[in-house]
Amino acid sequence: MQSLPTQLKVMSFNIRYGTADDGENSWLFRKEAVLDFLGTSGYDVIGLQEVLTGQLHEIRAAHPYYHWIGVGRDDGDSAGEHSAILYDSRKTELLLSDTFWFSETPEVVGSTSWGNTLPRVCTHGNFVVGGQAFSVFNVHIDHASAISRFRSIEMLTRRICSNGSHTPMIVTGDFNEAESGPTIQLMAQAGFQDTYRTVYPDGPEQATYHNWTGAVTGQKIDYIFVSETWKVADTRIIRETPYGRHLSDHYPVVATLEL
């Protein structure tokens, strides 16, 4: 009897940091909508960007099965934004995790290089689901320095490829760069496929950052990249507002993957 394929539901979501003064869109007013969305989404692995420790604790309190990995970018503990990875512990087992900084000294907490004035980090985890091992890297690349974006992804792809592993790979993140940018092309050159373009190869760019406007056209800067071992069964950008408000100033990007 042929075994069923391993299926994984993945999300990348810049949740917008909880202390931002966004008026009616501040975390206090959209928190319940976000918590309800996460609890009903059914996603196994979620790469979050900009999330603060307090928000992570609120997610865990509402949905205890969602565990997280990752540390604050400022102190390597709880201070500052996290590029955290949530995973559904009922289905997904964590094997190991680490965080490194996008800089010339990636193991030095809070370090910066290449023109990024804010620390930028990558959280990495090795997981098992249904007996199948896979790796996830979640990133938030610099918004101001194009050199930093390129060097950061250069470092990331070098780290991934240098271990020679055949483990299926997933990279989620806010890349702060449109599809035509050199950083995104670097991911393709490293053998990663953009899940959205794998399913929808043609057509104009689809906005993932909308700045609370609900815009649907514009730059796609949020991505789920996967190694070629994955089959992309489905993908979409979630723009619905069933809770009467935007979940964030970014739209979540989701994909269903199979091995």
Pick the CATH number of 7-258 from 2.115.10.20, 1.20.140.10, 3.60.10.10, 3.40.190.10: 3.60.10.10
Phi-psi map region of 53: left, alpha, beta (phi>0 left; psi -120 to 50 alpha): alpha
Mean pLDDT, rounded, for 202-209: 88
What is the 3-class SS of 165-198, one letter each residue? CCCCEEEEEECCCCCCCHHHHHHHHCCEEEHHHH
Can you give the pLDDT at residue 5?
65
**Is the separation of the CB atoms in 225 and 35 below 8 Å?**
no
Least Cα distance to 59 among 79, 99, 101, 88 occurs for 88
- Alpha-carbon span 191 to 171, nearest angstrom: 12
Can you give the pLDDT at residue 2?
43
- Alpha-carbon span 226 to 190, nearest angstrom: 11
Instruction: State how far the alpha carbon of 192 is from the alpha carbons of 45, 48, 144, 153, 245, in Å.
Output: 18, 20, 24, 12, 33
Tell me which H or E stretch contains 31.
helix 27-41
1 confidence band (pLDDT: 50, 70, 90):
very low
Can you give the pLDDT at residue 204?
77
Quick check: 162 pLDDT over 70? yes
- What is the model's pTM? 0.96
Mean pLDDT, rounded, for 83-87: 98
Can you give the pLDDT at residue 203?
79
Tell me which H or E stretch contains 156.
helix 146-162
Quick check: 188 pLDDT over 60? yes
Q: Tell me the pLDDT tens digit for each residue of 95-139.
A: 999 999 999 999 999 999 999 999 999 999 999 999 999 999 999
Mean pLDDT, rounded, for 67-94: 98
Number of H helices, E strands in the chain: 5, 12
Q: Which two tokens stand for residue 182?
A: 């050199």
**Is the separation of the CB atoms in 29 and 243 below 8 Å?**
no
Can you give the pLDDT at residue 243?
87
Q: Tell me the pLDDT tens digit for each residue of 9-47.
A: 999 999 999 999 999 999 999 999 999 999 998 999 999
